[in-house]
Amino acid sequence: MGKGDETKRSILDQALRMASTQGLQHVTIGLLAGAAGLSKSGLFAHFRSKEQLQLAVLREASDRFVNKVIAPALREARGAPRLRALFENWMRWDTVEFPGGCPFQAAANELDDQPGPVRDYLVETQGDLVDTLTTVAQAGVEAGRLRADLEPRQLAFDFLGIFLAYHYMFRLLRAADATSLTRASFEALLARAVV
């Protein structure tokens, strides 16, 4: 990795922390330059615009999510082991990786009514996530490890819903029982899904 790549990686690390704690709209060339100890022109040379910077932040977050949450889970056996690995990896992602929670969650709240390329990219990645969860459920059904009458897209919806509720309870309400409630919801979902 060259010096330019290392600098860009360091900038994206700082930008992801900002997106997690302050929101994607606060990740601007000026604010990030100050936080990263760089000049605006130096940062501009890497990203060219606020929009390109925000797209780079979401791409980096997406790559990290795939590498830390999805890819390791897909190495597990189909059915319950794979779903459990997805759940555990995602819990670590949402509580350990980012000080303010999942950057996708923050971006979804900010961008749901804001048209443009950044929202388009977020919609694409989140659609891919739903498709991946659906495919994981379908593979479990086809392997005979999840109920034959299981609706894979419903399981994907419920699985995603658990994490949306967790984010709300843990991050916004600071509920002391957010983690235990989330784990209980996942166990109930899994119990309904297995053969």
User: Global pTM?
Assistant: 0.91
189 falls within a domain: yes
113 falls within a domain: yes
136 falls within a domain: yes
**Average pLDDT value for residue range 41-49:** 83
- Expressed as residue numbers, the domain containing 79 is 55-193
11 falls within a domain: no
Q: If you average pLDDT over every residue of the chain, what do you get?
A: 92
| Nearest-angstrom CA–CA distance, 29 and 38 | 10
Please state the domain count of the chain: 1
Cβ neighbours, 10 Å, residue 5: 9
| C-beta of residue 79 within 8 angstroms of C-beta of residue 152 | no
158 falls within a domain: yes
48 falls within a domain: no
| Nearest-angstrom CA–CA distance, 48 and 42 | 10
| Nearest-angstrom CA–CA distance, 42 and 38 | 6
CATH of the domain at 177: 1.10.357.10
**Average pLDDT value for residue range 154-174:** 95
Give the total residue count for the chain.
Answer: 195
165 falls within a domain: yes
Res 4: pLDDT: 67
